[in-house]
Amino acid sequence: MNIPYTFDLAPSTWIPSRYDNHIIRKLSSMKGQYYDTQAFDRLLAQSDPLLYEVYELSRPSVAGELLHGISIIHPGKVGNEYYMTKGHFHAVLDTAELYYCLGGNGMMVMETPEGDWAVEGFTAGKTLYIPPRWAHRSVNVGDLDLALLFIYPGHAGHDYGTIERQGFRKLVLDEGGEARVVDNPRWVHLEQIKSLLL
């Protein structure tokens, strides 16, 4: 029903007291996303760990609405690359997103189709505004769950394919216990390739 509502966020688990969809993403759904493919295959041969979960409240996918929910990225690594979300551009590129960090330690890796990139850190209370056009991937660089509240326009949609094909320009790796942002050796800039071919 279209009436105002509230929900509570249980401290420490951050699971909302009401939600409509609970999405779970396991390692097997991240094929080709981690740069160390051998570490990925080794881990998957042993088990299929749960990397992250999203609790969504459903609203109509129209411009006047704000889609919102909580994403929880669990701690862990594939090789030396931290657990992370798939990451995406919004299908309607000109749509922004707001993130609020409830708990944990993380980073948001971002880039535009033009090849600009940015990485911002998350600790409890940190709020991140992602302007239109920026693809975004949340990375858990800590030992606890990384819990994030997100809000974005109802008509935004998701483009996962671009990131699946080209990857993000930057990776976040554990180097001797420190989170480091490094170049992705396998990043290809599809926009650049397209413009060379035209």
Nearer to Ni ion, 147 or 173 (CB): 147
- The helix or strand, by DSSP H or E, that contains position 52, with its residue range, turns out to be strand 50-57
Q: How far is the CB of 196 from ligand 6PG (least distance, A)?
A: 28
Q: How far is the CB of 197 from ligand 6PG (least distance, A)?
A: 28
Q: For residue 141, what are its two tokens? A: 């660089």
Site string for Ni ion, 66-105 (x = CB under 5 A): -------------------------------x--------
Q: How far is the CB of 85 from ligand 6PG (least distance, A)?
A: 3
Half-sphere exposure of 45 (CA within 13 A, CB side): 6
SS3 content of the chain, % helix, strand, coil (to 5): 15, 40, 45
Query: Residues interacting with ligand 6PG, by CB under 6 A?
Result: 54, 69, 71, 85-88, 97, 136, 138, 150, 152
User: 137 φ, ψ to 5°?
Assistant: -140, 125
Nearer to Ni ion, 81 or 97 (CB): 97
Q: How far is the CB of 88 from Ni ion (least distance, A)?
A: 6
Q: What's the angle, vertex CA 177, arms to CA 84 and CA 128, rounded to 5?
A: 45
Q: Give yes or no for a contact between 178 and 105, defined as CB atoms under 8 angstroms apart.
A: no
Nearer to ligand 6PG, 64 or 177 (CB): 64
